[in-house]
Amino acid sequence: MADGSEYIELKFRIYDGTDICHCSYVSSSTILSLKQKLVSEWPQGKSMVPKTSNDIKLIHLGKVLENNKTLSESGVRDGAFAGGVITMHVVIQPVIAKKNSAKKQDDTGKLNSCGCTIL
């Protein structure tokens, strides 16, 4: 964290409306590092818990943020909103569920092939 770095105050809202990890972050922080922090500090006793950072999607202003980009590259700016605290939404979407649904779609396509002939 070099001198002159811009800090952005963020909080993250999870599926049940709880805000977590309210803190100031350096604008050069990557989205992946934020996700890793969220996984490590996830509240105990929740019905859905991410296992890895790949299970989480961060949404800011209706846009899903990419892991390899920084906060500043993603267009997250401090002071953009009243109160100066930016709320990002956290969606848990396990990678395993995606693979299973993709496999089911592939199998469905094979099973539903039609061999009808119209006379």
The conformation of residue 72, written as its DSSP 8-state character, comes to T
Q: Which domains occur in the chain, in start order?
A: 7-111 (3.10.20.90)
CA pair distance 76, 86, nearest whole angstrom = 8
At 56-93, the pLDDT tens digits run 999 999 999 999 999 999 988 865 555 678 889 999 98
State the Cα–Cα distance between residues 25 and 109, nearest whole angstrom: 46
DSSP alpha helix (H) spans, the chain = 31-40, 95-111
Kindly report the pTM of this predicted structure. Answer: 0.71
Q: Which residue has the tokens 């996700």?
A: 35
Tokens 């395993």: give the residue: 96
